[in-house]
Amino acid sequence: MSRTEIPGSDVLGPQALAAARRCGVEVDAVTGEAAHRSPVNGASLGGVRWSSPAEVDTAVTRAHEAFLAWRRTPAPARGAVVKRFGELLTQHKADLGELISLEVGKITSEALGEVQEMIDICDFAVGLSRQLYGRTTVSERPGHRLMETWHPLGVVGVISAFNFPAAVWSWNTAIALVCGDAVIWKPSEQAPLTAWSCAALLDRALVEHGAPPAVSQVVVGGPEIGEELVDHSGVALVSATGSTRMGRTVGPRVANRFGRSLLELDGNNAAIVAPSADLDLTLRGVVFAAAGTAGQRCTTMRRVIAHRSIAGQLTERLAAAYARLPIGNPMAEGTLVGPLVHGAAYEAMTKAISRAESEGGRVVAGGERVLAEAAEQAFYVQPTILTMPDQTEVVRSETFAPLLYVMTYDEFDEAIALNNAVPQGLSSSVFTSDQAEAELFVSAEGSDCGIVNVNIGTSGAEIGGAFGGEKETGGGRESGSDAWRAYMRRATNTINYSGELPLAQGVDFSV
C-alpha cells in the first residue's frame, strides 16, 4: 500500500466491518441508514444504525438498574473486570487501531498509541480498585472520629469527540467502572464502529465475570442523542469532550438540574522557545505536537512564542521539517500526516489562513491541499506555519487543523503573558535550558493551563496525570491522579463512641 494510493470503499468498507466483527460486533445489528464516511477516502464505509432519543431513556433506566447491583460488587471485583477488558484490548489492539485509522484517519502508529492509552488506563484503574481512599481526621470532641467515605455516584454519560474516538471513553469508563458507576457512551458520529467494537470487548469482560452487562451501553447518533443524556435526571455525571461552543450548552443545562459535568473543551496550546533551548529537541517536540494527528488533538500545539534571537532560525528549520512531512494514506507505512476529518475542517483551515493573512500573517510552510486527485472527497492538507506580527484575533481562537502560528518575544515575562492571553487553558510548554525560566513557567505566576510542560511538546500526555484545562477548556480533569473523585460521591461520617453527646462548637442544648 503506497502513501499516495487511496483505497476505494470496496476495500475500506469490508476492512472496517471485518475488524469490528473480530472484536465481537454483530455487524447486521448495527447496519442502517445513517451516513458513515471514512476521512481516508471521503467515501461511505456503509450505513450505520443510529439510536432514537427514546432509546436513550431506556438505556438510562437499564443502566440505573445495573448500577444498583454493580455498586454492591466489591471494588477489587470490579477491577477484575477492567483487568480482563485490558487483556482483550491488548489482544485486539491491531483491530481497534485499524478501525480508528479507517473512521477518523489517524496514522497507524498514533491509532495504536490510542489503544495503548486505553490499556494503560485499565492498568491504572485496576490498581485504583484496591485504593479509592478516604481520609480520617481527628474530631474536636472526645470519643469521636471523623472520616470520609467515597461511594459510587450512579450513571455516567460520556460524550466523546472524533479525534480520540476510543481513548477518552476508556479514561472515563475504566475509572467509572472501578468506582462502581454505570456508563452510557455517546461516541462521535464519525466513529461508531470503533465504539461498538470497544463496547463489545467490554461486554465480553463483563459477561465472563458475571457482571451486569448494562453497566456499559452505547447510544449512537447526532447532537439530539447527546442532549438526551445532558437533560436526563437519571444521569449523575455528564463527561463531555468537544468544542467550547458545545460546553457552553452542556455545562449550564446539566447544572440547571444540579447534575455534575466534567468538560474537556477547546485548547489553544503554546510553546515558548527560549534562547537557551536545545533547538534539535525543540524542533522534534514542536513538529510532533503541531503536525501530528494532522493538528486534530485538543493538545495540538497551535502557537509558538519564540525569542526574537532564535525565531528566524527556528522558523526556517521548522519550515524545512514541514516540507519533508510524508502526507497521505494513514495506514501506509511511513505516513506521518493523515487526512482532516471532513470538508468542514478543511474549510475552517482555509478560512483561518486567509484571516491570519489579513491580520498580517505570512505563510512560511505548507498551506495547500494535496492528493485531491487521488481522493476527491478526502481532505489531505500540508501542515501550515504562519508567522504573525502579534497575537491577533485568529490566533486566539482554536482552529482544529494543523495550523501553527509563530510569534516572537523579547522578555520572558512577555512570553508568559502571551501564553496566558487566550481564552483557552489546556496545555503549554517551555523549551529552555535555564532552570529559573522553567521553574517560573510551572509556578503560580507561570502558565495558567492545566498541563504545563518543560522541554516536551504540548500533546501526548501519559494517562497517570490528571488531564484537562482551565478557562474555556472547561475545568474538568480526567484520567489519572485523583480524577477518580469526580466519579464518586463523598460522605463525611462522624462516629461517636463516647457514650456522651457533646455538641460541636461547644453548643449547650441541655433540656
Q: Which residues contribute to the site for ligand UN1 (CB under 6 A)?
A: 117, 163-164, 168, 241, 297-299, 459-461
Active-site pick, 23, 179, 198, 298: 298
Minimal distance in Å, beta carbon 459 to ligand UN1? Answer: 4
Residue 133, C-beta contacts closer than 8 angstroms, at least 6 positions apart? 150
Cα separations (Å) of 455 from 19, 278, 383, 458?
38, 9, 22, 10
- 173 vs 299, which CB is nearer to ligand UN1? 299
Can you list the alpha helix ranges (DSSP code H) found in 268-390? 279-291, 308-323, 343-358
In this structure, the chain runs to a length of 511
Q: In the numeric block, which cell numbers belong to residue 216?
A: 456499559
- 163 vs 382, which CB is nearer to ligand UN1? 163
Task: Tell me the one-letter amino acid at 209.
Answer: H
Q: In the numeric block, which cell numbers belong to residue 435?
A: 532552570
Minimal distance in Å, beta carbon 291 to ligand UN1? Answer: 13
Integer Cα distance of 318 and 304 in angstroms: 11
How many other β-carbons are positioned within 10 Å of the β-carbon of residue 364?
17
Q: Is 204 exposed, middle or buried (0-12, 13-18, 19+ CB in 10 A)?
A: middle
Which residues in 94-106 are b (16+ Cβ under 10 Å) and which e?
Answer: ebbbbbbbbbbbb
Minimal distance in Å, beta carbon 496 to ligand UN1? Answer: 47
Strand spans (E) along 300-438: 301-307, 362-365, 369-370, 380-381, 384-387, 403-409, 424-425, 427-431
Cα separations (Å) of 103 from 15, 190, 374?
11, 6, 18
Minimal distance in Å, beta carbon 241 to ligand UN1? Answer: 6
- 63 vs 159, which CB is nearer to ligand UN1? 159
Active-site pick, 103, 117, 189, 264: 264
- 213 — alpha (psi -120 to 50), left (phi > 0) or beta? alpha
Minimal distance in Å, beta carbon 424 to ligand UN1? Answer: 13
Minimal distance in Å, beta carbon 478 to ligand UN1? Answer: 9
Minimal distance in Å, beta carbon 175 to ligand UN1? Answer: 15
- 50 vs 484, which CB is nearer to ligand UN1? 484
- 271 vs 461, which CB is nearer to ligand UN1? 461
- 182 — alpha (psi -120 to 50), left (phi > 0) or beta? beta
Three-state DSSP class for 349?
Answer: helix
Which residues in 271-307 are b (16+ Cβ under 10 Å) and which e?
Answer: bbbbbebeeeebbebbbbbbbbbbbbbbbbbbbbbbb
| Residue 264 annotated in active site | yes
- Under 8 Å between Cβ of 192 and 199: no
Minimal distance in Å, beta carbon 164 to ligand UN1? Answer: 4
- 89 vs 206, which CB is nearer to ligand UN1? 89
- 261 vs 299, which CB is nearer to ligand UN1? 299
Integer Cα distance of 98 and 439 in angstroms: 41
Integer Cα distance of 193 and 187 in angstroms: 10
Using alpha carbons, select from 285, 262, 220 the residue that is nearest to residue 56.
220
Minimal distance in Å, beta carbon 284 to ligand UN1? Answer: 16
- 73 vs 473, which CB is nearer to ligand UN1? 473
| Residue 298 annotated in active site | yes
- 124 vs 150, which CB is nearer to ligand UN1? 124
Can you list the alpha helix ranges (DSSP code H) found in 292-403? 308-323, 343-358
Integer Cα distance of 451 and 118 in angstroms: 20
Catalytic positions, please?
264, 298
